[in-house]
Amino acid sequence: MGAMRSFQGFSAPCSHADQNRTQKKKKKKNPPVLDLITFFVQFHMRKVVFTACYVVSYRFNFRGFRWLQAMIFAIEEINNSSTLLPNITLGYRIFDTCNTVSKALEATLSFVAQNKIDSLNLDEFCNCTDHIPSTIAVVGAAGSAVSTAVANLLGLFYIPQISYASSSRLLSNKNQYKSFMRTIPSDEYQATAMADVIDYFQWNWVIAVASDDDYGRPGIEKFEKEMEERDICIHLNELISQYMEDHEIQALADRIENSSAKVIVVFASGPDMEPLIKEMVRRNITDRIWIASEAWASSSLIAKPEYLDVVAGTVGFALKGGHIPEFKDFLQQVQPKKNAHNEFVREFWEETFNCYLKDSRRRHQSDNGSTSFRPWCTGEEDITSVETPYLDYTHLRISYNVYVAVYSIAQALQNILTCKPGHGLFANNSCADIKKMEAWQVKRCTFSTNRDAKPV
């Protein structure tokens, strides 16, 4: 279980990728909050690519940026190691999924197409070289809904995918998600633990709320089953989403307000939960006990001072954390000048100091929009002088699971590298050739020796 902390929040407009379409966008009263940075790592030699996400409205995800830094830190550590993968340099691409299925699939398509160009029926129209670099592993996504969609695609190409935060039980279905693995447990356990908490406190009348997606629905279903077995009653049973209209939020808040159940169990993500909490704050409904699943228990969207009257006292679940030696220094060393090729660092800097760097791509974009003024910054500001969730490394949970995920892939490669002919995992106990290896070979070796991280 995890305590709630208050984090500083920033908001800023950002550019909108031109879709080259004349279709009118349906105007929503509640613009989507697409702020979760999740990412993939593409391992091939020496290439580093960052693909940032441009959406209509978003808020920078400072915690997500820390997870991204954990990924880079792990890769650099491995690349500098003289024992793990010596003489091999891992390359990678990091894509921002914007916490949306469509952005994540777009990114996935852009690299799986290269992996299996021959299966795309393009022979008639394209002349391709034989040496297209292929993706051998993917780390991510964070949210289960995004991970399931991506896993459907990656499974086709036998590309191992290791998530550091997707806990939906659906992802344990090996018939559907053939090459999905993760460094965290399935929600089956969390739902049982939630029911145990309810049982322990002898609460017998609760409200159940869940995200209407592949994370929330199976989570709350399992919780309901557990409650049934314990003969505890669920009064209301509600689904929520960040895309809910105002009147839907109002109706939901009415039902909760009118319910005599004072305990509300919520299996939801931060973005999905935020509109409801906002409405509870507006109505000043402070006499409820919230039971939070891990996704919103430590979300910086919810852990805000202005929401404290409502969410203080929440019983939240959290992932097992771990220590990453020297990570603190690495986080503090972030600087736009040192990481000039990393668009995420520039974005982070501008959001942290509420400024624009010189040659800021976003400044240029915002000139066309109606944004508030921001001063210039030099890129040499002192990062330790500000309070930001990015530098909160008191409890490394997801960051630690990212770190473990990257290491489990490196360990698989190490197994391939050090394989002794006659003792390998392939046909007739042969070994794979690390210079010509394919994703499915890495998949076979992933998690075979790493003790910290077991696939669930």
Contacts with a second copy by CB under 8 A lie at 21-23, 26, 32, 101-102, 105-106, 109-111, 113-114, 117, 119-122, 125-129, 131-132, 149, 152-153, 155-156, 158, 173-176, 178, 212, 217-218, 221, 224-225, 228, 237, 241, 243, 426-427, 440, 444
Quick check: 293 and 273 in contact, CB under 8 A?
no
Ramachandran assignment for 256, one of left (phi > 0), alpha (psi -120 to 50 degrees), beta (any other): alpha
Count of Cβ atoms closer than 10 Å to residue 382 Cβ? 8
Closer to a second copy by CB, 73 or 267: give it.
267
Sign of the C-alpha dihedral computed for residues 165, 169, 172 and 174 taken in this order: negative
| Least separation in angstroms between CB 294 and a second copy | 22
Tell me how far, at minimum, the Cβ of 159 lies from a second copy, in Å.
13
Nearer to a second copy, 234 or 456 (CB): 234
Whether the upstream peptide bond of residue 318 has omega within 30° of 0, thus cis, is no
CA distance to 9, 19, 112, 195, per residue, from 305 (Å):
10, 38, 43, 28
Alpha-carbon dihedral 232, 237, 242, 247, rounded to 10 degrees:
-140
Q: What's the min distance (Å) between Cβ of 328 and a second copy?
A: 36
Q: Which helix (H) or strand (E) holds 151?
A: helix 144-156
Looking at beta carbons only, is 131 or 420 nearer to a second copy?
Answer: 131
Write the Ramachandran bin of 326: left for phi over 0, alpha for psi from -120 to 50, otherwise beta.
left
Confirm if 267 and 219 have CB atoms less than 8 A apart: yes
Least distance in angstroms from the C-beta of 91 to a second copy: 15
For the bound state, the minimum distance from the C-beta of residue 390 to a second copy, rounded and expressed in Å, comes to: 29
> Which residue number, 139 or 220, has a Cβ lying nearer to a second copy?
220
Nearer to a second copy, 88 or 113 (CB): 113
Provide the token pair at 410: 């490196």
Residue placing its CB nearer to a second copy in the complex, 7 or 177: 177
Give the shortest CB-392-to-a second copy separation in angstroms. Answer: 31
Phi-psi region of 278 (alpha: psi -120 to 50; beta: other; left: phi over 0): alpha
Pick between residue 80 and residue 428 the one whose CB is nearest to a second copy.
428
How far is it, in rounded angstroms, from Cα 443 to Cα 437? 11
- What residue has token string 């503090």? 332
CB of 226 to a second copy, least distance (A): 12
